Amino acid sequence: MKAAAWSRKAADRGHPAAQCYLASCYLRGKGLEQNDTLAAEWGRKAADQGLACAQLIVGDSRSARGMGVKKDLPLGKRYLELSAAQGYESAVALLKGLRKCACCGKLDVHHMICGWCRNLRYCDTICQLRHWQRPADPHKPHCGKRREAAGKWGSSSESADPSADNN
């Protein structure tokens, strides 16, 4: 509790290591009440000052977890690349995971992304449709853009093709 309080004082003065530590405390609920939004806020302040561990936290939160903040794959990837460039192996591993096919797990997939949420990558249309419709944990109910579109346009969006967007 005292460490978090002292870190907060240093973080308020702009010290990046203290900001990163505070982000970690909020993320894990260590010495402070767990708060994903504050973790992301403090992590971003430190990451923008070039601290690799904070870039890892922000990159992971924006690209994979979405911890209390809007999931933003391009922004998350950018922060992970900055962290990886400073030698953080965890960032390198997370970047590899971002290039993995969501259906079959094949690495270095760059071509297709989900046209609805733009957060998942696929080898090809076949993998995307398999993942969209598979019986165990299909992507369809998790795809936020699809649900938003269904609300805006009614049931006509049910027939829309989620694989229409290629990257």
Other beta carbons less than 10 A from residue 67's beta carbon:
19
**For residue 96, what is the DSSP state?**
H
Are 49 and 94 in contact by the 8 Å Cβ rule? The answer is no
pLDDT at residue number 68: 65
Question: Residue 111 — pLDDT band, cuts 50, 70, 90?
Answer: low
List Cβ neighbours of 31 (8 Å cut-off, separation of 6 or more). 1, 2, 3, 4, 25
pLDDT at residue number 50: 94
The closest of 68, 60, 67 to 93, measured between CA atoms, is 60
44-97, pLDDT tens digit by residue? 999 999 999 999 988 888 876 556 677 777 888 889 999 999 998 999 888 877
What CA–CA distances, in Å, run from 23 to 46, 85, 90, 152? Answer: 9, 21, 17, 36
Question: pLDDT: is 61 or 111 the higher one?
Answer: 61
- Candidates 3.40.50.150, 1.25.40.10, 1.10.1740.10, 3.40.50.920; correct CATH number of 2-98? 1.25.40.10
Domain ranges (residues) in the chain: 2-98, 112-164
Least confident among 1-15, 39-53, 110-124, 133-147: 133-147
Over residues 29-51, the mean pLDDT reads 89
